[in-house]
A and B are shown apart, each in its own frame.
Chain A
């Protein structure tokens, strides 16, 4: 199972060779950076090469504005503040976090993940914001750089005050286990961090416990699942969701060779902390992301090389659409009428959520999106 998935994922990632469209000139970017967002309107925000942040008006599927971001691109992972006024980004080759005012494009916050001169620190896709918007969280993976060697250090949860401005330092740090990545906050302020399992973390004390097992799920009749989650989507359904693939054994012998491999979705309800796990399809192709419809959360949209719509309970494929090129992330709008595909290359594809008919393609200023994270919100 693992090698099979790995091969497919590698192939797909490599297929996304950066192709740069004509970049918007700095003058063009400057013209629209001051365009304010309008209360009540629905937007999508995402980042792409060379280092842009674009706001898309979902009412007419046009790019409202494009901000130029500081330093280097990558991964363009983005979270929207609870008041929908700021975008928070992990960028600069996984090395810095930025806060950007969407109305003005002004950078209001920056923090280098390395906290000392003899440290090299990366945050691997790890960024969340508190429900009150006052704190951001990231898990940092430091290495100490000695004059003639490196020494891997224990990861740490770093808590930043969003009002700290530029060159911010964490207000609290706590030791954490390894291999942590995407995270989201619950309504009560609990921080959920994905790693080998999903942990719930008390951001005041740093204490953590397993909220939802992944590798250690010990699900009867199943082998350990594999989860690739590089897209911490702030879902309209308020869930922290993970697509998994897992071997489903034929019998108690747990023979991997005869097992069926399945796709499923496991998630934590961020309002209640409740956990749900459900298979939805046999594993016949690779998806990078899946997102539930806010209109009918039993309906799931998945994407990589094809867009699919599933009925989770019935484990039934409802509709499919060719996508023209690979996309990594599926998003939905608030009324559940549209599906937006982003990630890789430099466009967003828009589909009718009911029929999966293609509505339009929104070209993005700039180049490849790589593994960015798009977020949809109403200002």
Chain B
């Protein structure tokens, strides 16, 4: 057993899920005993009751950060198995109810291009100027605990009150007298939702899941995920499916369900280690699956349980039909039972295959079907299918993204940016979303400064076909003005041809320096 404090590893390298079947030891650990033995040395009051720990609730990643900080900075000795068991126990017994994570899951899912927007400017400046506001919103504490967190911050980071947006105000006074009450009110420990959630019956997990997803830079995919229980809340996974481009999607791994709904998976797909951060909502799993050491490469995932779950339509891939062009469509769902019913104006030219989770057809649409529709299979209805004859405009998604220089002998890898062109059409009832379409990609200087500093030349390059931007190397570049890094401010331009007419759209890409501090919740 390795009981030494862990070194300052990149925290994202600390998986919440052990490689199967390495979690057997983890499940043998008596965590209440472990807490009494290791945690209560510092965190017990005179009567032996736990303090601090007992006045906070947070996500698995939140507890992981706390426990790892205890290891790194306070010499807490824990083996990897003990750490995982402890985090699991804390997330299960002092976690957040699903509703308490709503609106902030993007940070758990590591959607790091999210631009946050909070109603309180003061909260934004006091808290979210150094880390995500979601990191705060994913915690529940008593007022005393929030106050101790403020004292922790200034004690650990004494220059906080000297930095821009710190030195222009009485930072500590405002933090103590205004922010603490604000947090205690908006993110109160109060456990009504939590008690309710604890009494909610847990959804079954084992069995087959039908899974649909979309990976920017590659496209749609679907798969069957077979889940088998190894122990309470611990599962083995197997995935078998296909990308829309014809490539196979084959993988296996393990998952742990924290807090009754926080699904954390670690799977190797086609030889690449990926993480799953899903929320379990009855017979639905929803979230993001991303490359473990390149979290910018990730897919939105929606899955439904086949065994015992409802009959559902999850997605139509691709999500659009052009009138007059016969197109192969996959309808992804679960427990399909009954007839496939398409809207008037869409004809099934041929049924290509059908399983309980996937129907593949060749479809042809005419003008009667223009607009967006849901698809029915028996009693199930869902997905989104757009029919268009002419695209009206496209937009670049995301409209604003960050890429980071990396490599060049340094410890931080490059962080790509991935863009897609989202097409829209016009109908009698207004504009409607068609879906992601292939585009020709290029970059240009975003402004005069970028032009003068030749950012296009230095900052990296975009793949004209996939929309994947790969940044340049890290470190000062002697060829650049002021020897600056290969940073840049670029316009990202998508172009398509719509009926012989070019349509273009522009997004913005900031290529910047490495993220040196990359915790599980940024």
> What are the residues of chain B within 8 A of A324 when measuring CB–CB?
482-483
Q: Nearest A residue to B484 by beta-carbon distance?
A: A15
Tell me, yes or no, whether B272 is within 8 Å of chain A by CB.
no
A325-B482 contact, Cβ under 8 Å, with A17-B513, A178-B172, A179-B171: yes
Neighbour of B168 across the interface among A178, A215, A323, CB < 8 A: A215
Which residues of chain A from 135 to 181 have any CB-CB distance to chain B below 8 Å in the complex? 141, 143, 145, 147-152, 178-179, 181
Are A122 and B158 CB-contacts (below 8 A) given A150-B152, A326-B482?
yes
Among listed B9-17, B98-106, B159-167, B309-317, interface-contacting one: B159-167
| Chain B min CB distance to A288 (Å) | 13
Q: Which residue of B lies closest to A141 (CB)?
A: B158
Contact, CB under 8 Å: B167 / A179: yes
Count of chain A residues near B, Cβ 8 A: 38
Contacts between the two chains (Cβ within 8 Å), count:
90
- Interface residues in B162-182 (C-beta closer than 8 Å to A): 162-168, 170-173
The CA of A15 and the CA of B482, in the complex, are separated in Å by 10
Cβ-neighbour of B51 out of A2, A3, A148, A179 (below 8 A): A148
> With an 8 A cutoff between CB atoms, is B33 at the interface?
no
The chain A residue with its CB closest to the CB of B475 is A17
Question: What residues of B have a CB within 8 angstroms of the CB of A141 in the complex?
Answer: 158
- Quick check: is B52 within 8 A (CB to CB) of the other chain? yes
Give CA–CA (A124, B172) in the complex, Å.
Answer: 15
Chain A residues contacting B165 (CB-CB under 8 Å) are: 2-3, 6
Q: Inside 8 A of B163's CB, which chain A residues have their CB?
A: 6
Asked whether A6 lies within 8 Å of B164 as measured between CB atoms, the reply is yes
Residues of B within 8 A of A112 (CB): none
Most buried by A among B163, B474, B476: B476
Q: Mark B35-59, 1 if CB is under 8 A from A, else 0.
A: 0000000110000000110000000
State the Cβ distance, B172 to closest chain A Cβ, in Å.
Answer: 6
Chain A, residue nearest B172 (CB): A178
* Least distance between A198 CB and chain B CB atoms (Å): 13
Kindly provide the distance from the CB of B106 to the nearest chain A CB, expressed in whole angstroms.
22
CB neighbours (8 Å) of B159 from chain A are 124
Do B167 and A196 touch across chains, with their CB atoms under 8 A apart?
A: yes
The contact string, 1 if C-beta is below 8 Å from chain B, for chain A 198-231, is: 0000000000000000010000000010111000
**Contact: A19 with B475, CB < 8 Å?**
yes
Q: Quick check: B151 and A15 within 8 Å, CB to CB?
A: no
Assembly CA distance A94 to B487 (angstroms): 30
Please tell me the number of chain B residues within 8 Å of chain A, measured between CB atoms. 34
For residue B199, which residues in chain A have a CB less than 8 angstroms away from its CB? none
Q: Is A14 an interface residue (CB 8 A)?
A: yes
- CB < 8 Å neighbour of A305 from B150, B166, B168, B482: B482
Residue of B nearest to A325 (CB): B483
Do A152 and B482 have beta carbons less than 8 Å apart? no
- Most chain A beta carbons < 10 A, residue from B151, B152, B171: B151
**Nearest Cβ on chain B to A371's Cβ, whole angstroms:** 11
Compute how far the CA of A5 lies from the CA of B483 in the bound complex, rounded to whole angstroms.
21
Known: A179-B161, A179-B162, A226-B164. A148 touches B43 (CB 8 A): yes
Tell me if A14 and B513 are in contact (CB < 8 A).
yes
On chain B, the residues within 8 Å of A143 by CB distance are 151, 154-155, 158
Residues in B whose Cβ lies below 8 Å from that of A35:
none
Q: Which residue of A lies closest to B161 (CB)?
A: A179
A228 neighbours in B (Cβ, 8 Å): 164
Do the beta carbons of B476 and A19 come within 8 Å of each other? yes
Q: What A residues does B474 contact at CB under 8 A?
A: 17
B residues near A15, Cβ cutoff 8 Å = 476, 482, 484-485, 487, 513
**Chain A's nearest CB lies how many Å from the CB of B40?**
10
Contact A151 B151 (CB under 8 A): yes
Q: Is the CB–CB distance between A152 and B155 below 8 Å?
A: yes
In the assembled complex, the Cα of A359 lies from the Cα of B475 at a distance in Å of 27
Tell whether B354 is near chain A: CB-to-CB under 8 Å. Answer: no
- Complex alpha-carbon distance, A326 and B482, angstroms: 6
Closest B-chain residue to A122, C-beta based?
B158
Q: How far is the CA of A305 from the CA of B474 in the complex (A)?
A: 20
Q: A178-B161, A324-B482, A326-B482 are in contact. Are A148 and B156 (CB under 8 A)?
A: no
Q: A150-B156, A179-B162 given; name 20 further pairs at CB < 8 Å.
A: A2-B164, A3-B164, A3-B165, A11-B487, A15-B485, A17-B476, A122-B158, A143-B154, A145-B155, A148-B51, A151-B151, A151-B155, A152-B151, A152-B172, A178-B170, A196-B167, A226-B167, A226-B168, A305-B482, A325-B476
Closest 3 CB pairs of A and B: A6-B164, A143-B155, A150-B155
9 A-B interface contacts by CB (under 8 A): A9-B164, A19-B476, A150-B148, A151-B151, A152-B155, A179-B167, A224-B168, A226-B168, A228-B164
Mark B residues whose CB is within 8 Å of A: 42-43, 51-52, 148, 150-152, 154-156, 158-159, 161-168, 170-173, 474-476, 482-485, 487, 513
Q: Which residues of A contact B (CB under 8 A)?
A: 2-3, 5-6, 9-11, 14-15, 17, 19, 94, 120, 122, 124, 141, 143, 145, 147-152, 178-179, 181, 196, 215, 224, 226-228, 305, 323-326
